[in-house]
Structure 1
């Protein structure tokens, strides 16, 4: 008989979880970093604005990695930093956004190019770069944040619709391709979310116009609401895949039905 204690083998769901979260300098990405670190995750917070990442790191303990996810050299540097830090089991692709509300007849090349770069190419490059690591860990997760704009088109949304439809298509293909590697692929599709920058950036910095988007809407979603759904989706036992989660405020019954008081 021995008094030596034995350490049980840890399952995938018992290990300390680790994630890369993009778009971490603001909005839903920033809130997701807070949500995951609060539960003990090791999080690499990724965005272009280094000063905001450093402040978030000081607050949460996340590892700040300034990078442009659409730049190959930045992505390679990020993978190297994460590898040196012990790797991850979860990739949370939140970076993206919208620019402009022009109808297609007046579409601006630069707006469309930015949206495809941020929402589609960036997500593809991050996913492609981290898939070997996620496969190797044996229980990887990719979560892509798209939008209800990936479900229903609307006037003035053609560029954003196109980018988010493309990101959704990529996400659905990835789920089919990676199931045999035990990599689960989750899509979260938020509706109306009131954050400090999304609508402001879309409307070219017009604060008054941005405020009117939410005027009279009772309790639009917050970044923290969406982050909590993201946290839940990546924390449930690994054999559960929440393929698609649509999240809207009650006041937004559908894309064409928004209740204003």
Structure 2
């Protein structure tokens, strides 16, 4: 599917995976609407072809406004869901049991937020004219290898990302009749702002545990894969690990 002269939505689009993907899509000629919280947008760089939209992915009205903006510049063909949070806590620790509100928040942002965007954006994509192959658009969601190899302290995060993996195939099947493909990327350890506060020694230790290549992934590599998924019309209903063959240890 071609992205030139079409609209795209990227959640979490102010930095990290989303920022790299928004820039890559804009570089390919798409009109990109990068959805993120206002605090993140305030720190985001100006990128030609990228319009920042302040919205919380868990709020239907805010997401609908972002979808309306993208559709108005349309046709809306592409959605890439990168918004997410990753706090850690053990189910039972010296501080007591896992805070239920924290578990609920992680699931709400990562899983319910993704579903909210998928649902509202799909409705808009389904209104577009199909191409000669019956295709109208592509949705790329972001899981994590934690969906398969959740570590100690990742109960909430792994559960939320496992939900995205489970959502992938039924979403692809549900939206097939509308000509919309759904594919999920499950990244490993990526050099994003989340890792900016850790020491170089810790970063090196993370890289040393990756079979090959022995380094952290770059956000641009996620973006490249997302664009490849968009271009490959027969790729649908699949979860792709982007992890250098890493299988996470318990801790």
TM bucket normalised to smaller? 0.7 to 0.9
Give the TM-score taking structure 2 as reference length.
Answer: 0.83
Match of 1:183 in 2: 180
The equivalent residue for 1:73 is 61
From the CA coordinates, give the structure whose radius of gyration is larger: 1
String of CA shifts for 1:83-108, please: whole Å, max 9, x gaps.
322241111111112112x2212312
Q: Is the 8 A contact 1:24 1:53 kept in 2?
A: no
> Who is 1:121 aligned against?
112
Q: Deviations over 1:22-41 (max 9, x none)?
A: 00111100010111111111
**Quick one: distance in 2 between partners of 1:68 and 1:212?**
34
1:215 paired residue among 173, 192, 204: 204
**Which of residues 21, 24, 29 is equivalent to 1:35?**
24
Q: CA 1:91–1:85 in 2, change beyond 3 Å: closer, same or farther?
A: same
Do the aligned partners of residues 130 and 154 (structure 1) sit closer, same or farther apart at CA in structure 2, a change above 3 Å counting? same
Q: Which runs of 4+ in 1 moved over 4 A?
A: 210-213
Alpha-carbon distance in structure 1 between the residues aligned to 2:65 and 2:215: 40
* Aligned 8 A contact 2:168 2:237 in 1: no
Aligned residue number for residue 14 of structure 2: 25
Q: Please list every run of 5 or more consecutive structure 2 residues that lacks an aligned counterpart in the other structure.
A: 131-135, 208-213
Question: Structure 1: how far apart are the matches of 2:116 and 2:47?
Answer: 29
**Distance between the aligned counterparts of 1:69 and 1:185, measured in 2?**
18
SS of the equivalent of 2:193 reads coil
Which of 224, 228, 245 is 2:224 aligned to?
228
Q: Find the residue that maps to 1:219 and give its secondary structure.
A: coil
CA RMSD, 1 decimal: 2.4
Q: Which residue, 148, 156, 159 being the options, matches 2:156? A: 159
For residues 80 and 98 of structure 1, do their structure 2 counterparts lie closer, same or farther at Cα, with a shift above 3 Å needed?
A: same
Within-5 A mapping of 1:38-117: 38-49=27-38, 52=41, 55-56=44-45, 58-100=46-88, 102-105=89-92, 106-117=97-108
Distance 1:148 1:114, change over 3 A: same
Name 1:255's counterpart in structure 2: 248
The one of 229, 235, 238 aligned to 1:243:
238
TM-score, L = length of structure 1: 0.80
Q: How far apart are residue 247 of structure 1 and its match? A: 0.8
- Aligned in 2, Cα 1:14/1:79: closer, same or farther, shift over 3 Å? closer
